[in-house]
Amino acid sequence: MARDGSRDGCWSSGRRNRCLRRGAGQQRVAMAGDILKQEGLSAVVVGNGSIGLALAANLLQRENLNSLVILNRNGDVPFSDPRVANVKFDAEAPESIAAAAKVVRSSVDRVHLMINTVGMLHNQQQQPEKRLSRVSPENLQRSFAVNTMLLPVLVQEFSSLLRHLDSALFVSLSARVGSIEDNRLGGWYSYRASKAAHNMLLRTIAQEWRLSHRNAAIVAMHPGTVASRLSEPFISSGYQHTVHTPSECADHLAAVFSTLTSESSGSFLDWRGQPVPW
């Protein structure tokens, strides 16, 4: 596929010219305004962990929300709201993501807000490594599959649903410990490395989207320290830092979503909307 060099962000691929222009009055515009106030808001939350479900609950309070798809692997979605659809997938099975996107495409023609809340720090097979001697190819591979590789596959599969005449926002939850510059403590090799690689992929997608998805922004966010299954083993009773509830976290993240525009695309922000060093 060759880029045709036009300023309108058109891409030509042999016989098809996938130009962003749709004629006078229908040109895709840069993402602007509060995405959460979008009329007929169509949202996808990826993951049904603590933060994913809290964000879903937050979105469901909004009257302008038209549809909410929750992609998850265990089917546990505690909402009976008719606007909610529950679609299964496994981050480690790319074909299941393609199948999930197909299901979503059959029910909505566009997505305005997509939030990836999937992440893995520990599970039955692995714990975050305190020392290099604990690092194994298996741990690295599993962490990268969930924390890193899911992002580009999601963007590939949902690309057409995010490319339309309205604004669109894709937020993917990262972690401050994925910051290379901010790494002063060491440890947690697989998690740190997989989140750092996630951030590089996101930043690279943002560059491509400047041409292909001029209506959209893609942003990495650190949600803060939040009480969840992921953080629970590391938050002892003497924990020195603030721990937010999932509901507080959803409020913080939503407040930041409301401020994001095309200019924000490719940034790494914390829950207050402050830039996190890469």
Size of the site for ligand NAP (CB under 6 A): 27
Stretch that binds ligand NAP, among 36-44, 160-168, 205-213, 229-237 (CB under 6 A): 229-237
**Residue among 226, 250, 253, 260 that touches ligand NAP (CB under 6 A):** 226
Q: Contact 269/73 with Cβ under 8 angstroms?
A: no
Stretch that binds ligand NAP, among 17-25, 67-75, 128-136, 203-211 (CB under 6 A): 67-75
Q: Pairing between strand 216-222 and 268-270?
A: parallel
Question: Shortest approach of ligand NAP to residue 130 CB, angstroms?
Answer: 18
Q: Which is nearer to ligand NAP, 209 or 268 (CB)?
A: 268
Nearest alpha carbon to residue 278 among 169, 165, 210, 201: 201
End-to-end CA distance of the chain: 31
Question: Shortest approach of ligand NAP to residue 230 CB, angstroms?
Answer: 3
Q: Which is nearer to ligand NAP, 50 or 262 (CB)?
A: 50
Angle at CA 260, nearest 5°, toward 31 and 166?
Answer: 25
d(CA 238, CA 140): 30
Nearest 5°: phi and psi at 237? -65, -25
What is the SS3 assignment for 70? Answer: strand
Q: Contact 199/276 with Cβ under 8 angstroms?
A: no
d(CA 196, CA 273): 19
Q: Which is nearer to ligand NAP, 110 or 270 (CB)?
A: 270
9 binds ligand NAP (CB under 6 A): no
Question: Shortest approach of ligand NAP to residue 43 CB, angstroms?
Answer: 16
Stretch that binds ligand NAP, among 45-53, 104-112, 127-135, 161-169 (CB under 6 A): 45-53
Q: Which residues bind ligand NAP (CB under 6 A)?
A: 47-52, 72-74, 90-92, 117-120, 146, 173, 175, 222-223, 225-226, 228-231
